[in-house]
């Protein structure tokens, strides 16, 4: 049994909020925005305003009602009469008639303990995307990263980071312990406030420094910044977080593409990496 799970909804990371992901909310889609353009839905997909819509119809409806959103998939949810729709690393619930939209966690109460169906669904979806993540990270040159290399490297993890994130700083304090255990830490930039923000400028200064690891140490451990500009990959790496559906920092991507959202103590992370390379490490636990 793994000691960690690729859980998206975590308290130990700094969120990049969106209007649809703050707590539990209910939206009446029958009264919001423009009326649905049924020209995008064929007769087979659209059964009627108050009857069950197909997943394809729900996808078109959400993208029409919520401009700018791109739904990756729509599936039946654990609750009859509702679909779950995935977008940008997040999850929405919508009634099968397309009338009501829910955001927040769906908890099942049928067992002895509440079950977080939202967390479970996001974990499964995250695992499905692991090979794609690994291929994406493999395509990035190390020279475009800020690398803290282990002398005797056994594993290399890639971390999307923001220097203003408290949990990112906490993780960075443990880089020496990670390196000592054979874990190389490679940073990519995730200015959560977006391109052009103060966080973006700070990361650009790190990436443009003559000694990037020292600049990262100064930024995270001493809160010291030396403003610099140069051609840099910070904006493209931020755009990559949108493609990968990352919502907060730190976001750790392991060699096989597994995503761990949030800070993990170095000993637990090392144990997890060992268990992936040698399952007998956690056999019977």
- Of 162, 164, 181, 186, the active-site residue reads 162
Q: How far is residue 136's CA from residue 144's CA, in Å, rounded to a whole number?
A: 14
- Of 133, 169, 181, 192, the active-site residue reads 192
Check if 168 is active-site: yes
- Of 14, 165, 169, 181, the active-site residue reads 165
Check if 208 is active-site: no
**Could you tell me the sign of the dihedral formed by the alpha carbons of 73, 126, 123, 19, in that order?**
negative
Check if 165 is active-site: yes
Contact 183/157 with Cβ under 8 angstroms? yes
- Of 97, 133, 164, 168, the active-site residue reads 168
CA distances from 174 to 6, 16, 171, 266, 269 (A): 20, 23, 5, 7, 11
Among all residues, which ones are annotated catalytic?
162, 165, 168, 192
């Amino acid at each position: 049994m793994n000691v960690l799970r690729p859980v998206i909804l975590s308290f130990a990371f700094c969120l990049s909020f969106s209007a649809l992901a703050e707590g539990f909310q209910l939206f009446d889609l029958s009264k919001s925005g423009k009326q649905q353009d049924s020209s995008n839905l064929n007769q087979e997909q659209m059964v009627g305003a108050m009857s069950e819509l197909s997943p394809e119809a729900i996808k078109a409806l959400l993208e029409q009602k919520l401009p700018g959103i791109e739904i990756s998939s729509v599936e039946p949810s654990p609750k009859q009469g509702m679909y779950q729709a995935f977008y940008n690393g997040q999850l929405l619930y919508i009634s099968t008639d397309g009338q009501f939209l829910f955001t927040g966690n769906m908890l099942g109460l049928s067992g002895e303990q509440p079950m977080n169906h939202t967390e479970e669904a996001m974990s499964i979806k995250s695992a499905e995307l692991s090979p794609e993540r690994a291929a994406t990270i493999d395509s990035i040159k190390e020279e475009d990263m800020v690398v803290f290399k282990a002398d005797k490297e056994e594993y290399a993890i890639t971390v999307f980071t923001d220097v203003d994130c408290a949990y990112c700083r906490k993780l960075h304090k443990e880089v020496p312990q990670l390196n000592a255990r054979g874990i190389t830490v490679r940073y990519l930039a995730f200015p959560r406030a977006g391109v052009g923000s103060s966080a973006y400028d700070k990361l650009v200064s790190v990436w443009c420094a003559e000694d990037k690891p020292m600049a990262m140490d100064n930024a995270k451990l001493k809160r010291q910044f030396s403003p610099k500009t140069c051609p840099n990959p910070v904006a493209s790496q931020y755009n990559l977080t949108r493609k990968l559906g990352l919502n907060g920092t730190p976001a750790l991507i392991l060699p096989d593409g597994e995503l761990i959202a949030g800070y993990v103590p170095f000993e637990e992370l090392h144990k997890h990496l060992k268990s992936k390379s040698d399952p007998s490490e956690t056999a019977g636990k």
